[in-house]
Amino acid sequence: MYNILVVDDEKEITDAIEVYLKNQNYNVFKAYNGIEALEVFREEEIHLVLIDIMMPRLDGTKTTIKIRETSSVPIIFLSAKSEDMDKILGLNIGADDYITKPFNPMELLARVNSNLRRYTNYANNNTPVKENMIKIGGIELKDDSKELIVDGKSIKITPLEYRILYLLMSNPNRVFSIEEIYEKVWKEPAYNPDTVTVHIRRIREKIEINPGEPRYLKVVWGVGYKFEQPKR
């Protein structure tokens, strides 16, 4: 059974989400601010976090930064429509997805299910395989260990970032639209395609010497993104 941590200072919201999740046989832990959330996270084995952005004592973005210091579990932001900049900030500092309040319970469950599925497939890939490596220029992806190597140095990468990079590096020089990347990586219709742009930006910061003038991960304006094979 998966353990899900729900963090929101509005008790009515945490109680409602608890009902939805328990109906799907998830085990639910609740917290009402970031301090309580971190305490629960230290004491329990949590597989996914649903967290509000605006909370007392410690907000959702700062809590996410603390969680990301030790864990790559999926984090989904709960945000109001007026908090667009906060959503982008959240994605930049390590959140995987966001849901805008008020939300449809079926959409909430779909996001939880898909994020857990991606995470467990990433974390529990124990099928014996030969070394499966993609190398383009100074960038290497080792698929058996889900490891990113940049110029000989191991770089920390989240499951979603890995899957996006793997898709693009597996198809060098091919241009993928934002919607196509979302559907192939998230395995669902493109509900939040703008999240792709944020993840691409984070990947660039990890693999490019100058993210503002990328050598590998390039935008094709009006079309999408591609991983370019450097010319010799």
Which letter does DSSP use for residue 176 in this model?
Answer: B
**For residues 35-45, average pLDDT:** 95
CATH 3.40.50.2300 in the chain is located at 3-123
CA 179-165-230 angle, to 5 degrees, is 110
Give domain 155-227's CATH architecture: Orthogonal Bundle (1.10)
**Average pLDDT over the chain, rounded to whole?**
87
Predicted model pTM: 0.66
pLDDT in tens, 81-113: 655 676 677 777 788 888 888 889 998 998 899
Annotate 34-66 with b (16+ C-beta within 10 A) or e (fewer): bebbbebbeeeebbbbbbbbebeebbbbebbeb
User: In whole angstroms, what is the distance from residue 33 CA to residue 7 CA?
Assistant: 6
CATH assignment, 3-123? 3.40.50.2300
Distance of CA 5 to the CA centre of its chain: 16
Comparing 3 with 159, the larger pLDDT belongs to 3
On the question of pLDDT at 66 being above 80, the answer is yes
CATH 1.10.10.10 segments of the chain: 155-227
State residue 166 phi and psi, 5-degree precision. Answer: -65, -45
Mean pLDDT (whole number) for 13-29 = 95
Q: Give the three-state DSSP class for 94.
A: coil
pLDDT at 16: 95
Residues 184, 186: Cα–Cα separation, whole Å: 6
